[in-house]
Chains A and B, each alone.
Chain A
Amino acid sequence: MNKIKLTLREKPVVVLEAEVISPDLFVEQSNEEIRASVVYHGKRQKRIDDFFDVEGERSDCIEIHGDLNRVRHVGRAMTRGEVTIHGDVGMHLGALMKGGTIEVHGNAGDWVGGEMKKGKIHIHGDAGQQVGAAYRGSILGMQGGTIVVDGNAGIEVGMRMRRGIIVIGGTARDFVGLQMKGGTILLCGGAEIRTGAWMQRGTIISLKELALMPTFAESGAYNPTFLNVYSQHLQALGVQLPYAEADGRYRRYSGDRGVPGKGEILIWEPAV
């Protein structure tokens, strides 16, 4: 398949804002047009080929090589296509995206999939803070789509999210699902403190014990039926979610009563 390959020649000295690296734009551009796309190196306007070697043209399949941890806004608001990054990547990866897939073989910065609506992001390494979160002053975070992080994540994962699924394979830090309004967060390696703080609705599933806020109340243990469906859906993404009664059950906590909210936290309790 026709592919566009970008290779970073050397790491930018200051932040490089490259929202032009998006399948929506590249699919209609010739190699020369892609090379001439404007990126912001700090305050200065530069061309993409000042930093990257560009191969290929007119494709919505982009492959990027190099240490991009100062390159921000990659795949911003994209609606189609594929972006594959071999190396680390900076903040706002796939923010506001409405479709397509992003795969990162490395670590990602903060605001991965911030306020995204649709599409899929898979980070094979660690992610930074505010995964799938709302921007400052905004009411809704992620409103759909899927984010899978194989490694750890920072604070405020899924802050104010409304819909969609976030999977954290490792450990998340404080404030997972802060002010969450809907959607699902799956924590395979547990989280630090204040999980689900101020949540209104939505589901946080943890496969490890959690230190909960004092405003959550225990409300039974069971095996929710909807998890069978979830488990099958997540299996396609390579995530194992236990649900069979023979393997154990989920303890359910509801809250956050400070709001007061109707969110739920499910903590997996394996059968002995």
Chain B
Amino acid sequence: MTCTLGEVKNRADFIVYWGGNPAECHPRHFTKYALMPKSQFLPRGRKDRTMVLVDIRETKSVKASDVFLQVRPGKDFELITVLRAMIKDQPISEAQIAETGLSVEQLQDFVARMKAARFGVFFFGMGLSMTRGKHMNSAALLTLAAEMNAFTKFVAMPMRGHGNVTGADVIMRWQTGYPFGISFNRGYPRYNPGEFSTVDVLVRGDTDCAFIIGADPGATMPKPAIEHLKRVPTIVLDPHVTHTSKMARVHITTAPAGISAPGTAYRMDEIPLPLRPALESPYPSDEEVVRRIKETILKKPDWMGERPQMLTTQV
């Protein structure tokens, strides 16, 4: 259940940032979309909106918020589940709520504000999705947003990181039906995060080659994954020298997308934005390199042999 930032800008009168620090990480988010803009439905701009910040520590975003809820680290999932119970008027004891680091009054006030809103948004960041519980923390917030629709309009949207990460998800989704964690080894896409997601595959050492386009796993992934990248032939396409390209067998320098290479970037609300190159580059674009690699591969004999054999029951 999501929407575009245009809808947030024009309609959202209740904004929750959960596990993120937009003041420093998405500095234009407040002024362009979430807090400041005035619209037909919110004529007084910031004064018509309520902003709640949920985080484990006080960040610079606290100053911009109306309510700050400091949750105990690692208790986001518990807090969201308590909120799910509270919006349905289920009895929860004070001692149980105290476990999350917040008081009953704070949560009752939060629930009352959520229910009174005309259009609520949850923006969630890495503080939620990358801490213990991972995908289930995000799932919890998405479920809460879905359940809030019994009372009022509510949506949830992840605060995406730098680079065109949304674009990768969107393209994979319309091409294959799944956003990430896909295997093509049987000739058709199969989705299973945990089994086919990059980091898990690399940590287990289940590949004998790696092809990395415009990403730097060498700087972000756990040590066993990096060790495996060093072991197998790794090919990197990147405009810059990165941690990954330093350990790669092959590094092909490409033109920086959006600056010297044209393309489409996706905004965090999945709106495609065409980019025109501003500068010339002596290097080929990522697309051209991948296309030429593909042309060469097509000259090889078909590896599939007989037609793809499905697993007896689809996974």
Evaluate contact between B185 and A110: CB separation under 8 angstroms.
no
Q: Does A54 contact B (CB under 8 A)?
A: no
Q: Does A257 contact B (CB under 8 A)?
A: yes
Contact partners of B313 in chain A: CB under 8 A: 76-77, 96
Contact partners of A76 in chain B: CB under 8 A: 311-313
Cross-chain contact of A42 among B100, B192, B208 (Cβ < 8 A) = B208
**What does DSSP make chain A's interface, helix, strand, loop or mixed?**
loop
Contact with A along B188-204 (1 / 0, CB 8 A): 00011111000000000
Among B241-297, those with CB < 8 Å from A are none
Total number of B residues with any Cβ neighbor in A under 8 Å: 41
Evaluate contact between B206 and A14: CB separation under 8 angstroms.
yes
Evaluate contact between A197 and B206: CB separation under 8 angstroms.
no
Stretch at the interface among A129-137, A181-189, A244-252: A129-137
Evaluate contact between B84 and A259: CB separation under 8 angstroms.
yes
Contact with A along B49-89 (1 / 0, CB 8 A): 00000000000000000000000000001101111110010
Contact partners of B88 in chain A: CB under 8 A: 260
Kindly state the separation between the CA atoms of A43 and B97 in the bound complex, as whole angstroms: 51
Evaluate contact between A43 and B185: CB separation under 8 angstroms.
yes
Q: Does B96 contact A (CB under 8 A)?
A: yes
Interface hub of B80, B91, B309 (most chain A Cβ within 10 A): B309
Q: Does B108 contact A (CB under 8 A)?
A: no
Contact partners of B96 in chain A: CB under 8 A: 214-215
Contact (A135, B315) CB under 8 Å given A70-B206, A110-B195, A257-B90: yes
Contact with A along B293-315 (1 / 0, CB 8 A): 00000000001111001011101
Contact with A along B169-203 (1 / 0, CB 8 A): 00000000000000011110001111100000000
* Chain B nearest Cβ from A159, distance in angstroms: 10
Contact partners of A160 in chain B: CB under 8 A: none
Contact with B along A186-203 (1 / 0, CB 8 A): 000000011001100000
Q: Does B28 contact A (CB under 8 A)?
A: no
Contact partners of A217 in chain B: CB under 8 A: 91, 93
Q: Nearest CB to that of B90 among chain A residues?
A: A257
Contact partners of A44 in chain B: CB under 8 A: 303
Q: Does B207 contact A (CB under 8 A)?
A: yes
Contact (A136, B192) CB under 8 Å given A40-B186, A260-B90: yes
Evaluate contact between A174 and B100: CB separation under 8 angstroms.
no
Q: Nearest CB to that of A38 among chain B residues?
A: B309
Kindly state the separation between the CA atoms of A260 and B91 in the bound complex, as whole angstroms: 11
Evaluate contact between A213 and B312: CB separation under 8 angstroms.
no
Evaluate contact between A258 and B315: CB separation under 8 angstroms.
no
Contact (A215, B92) CB under 8 Å given A175-B136, A258-B85: yes
With A214-B78, A256-B81 known, 4 other A-B pairs at CB within 8 A are: A76-B313, A96-B313, A178-B136, A215-B84
Shortest beta-carbon contacts, A-B, top 8: A214-B96, A258-B81, A258-B84, A257-B85, A257-B90, A43-B185, A258-B85, A214-B99
A selection of 21 A-B contacts at a CB cut-off of 8 Å is: A14-B207, A38-B309, A40-B309, A43-B186, A43-B304, A45-B305, A45-B306, A77-B312, A110-B194, A136-B191, A136-B192, A193-B132, A194-B77, A214-B81, A214-B92, A215-B84, A217-B91, A257-B91, A258-B80, A258-B85, A258-B90
Residues of chain A having any CB pair with chain B under 8 Å: 13-15, 17, 19, 38, 40, 42-45, 70, 73, 76-77, 91-92, 95-96, 110-111, 129-130, 135-137, 174-175, 178, 193-194, 197-198, 213-215, 217, 256-260
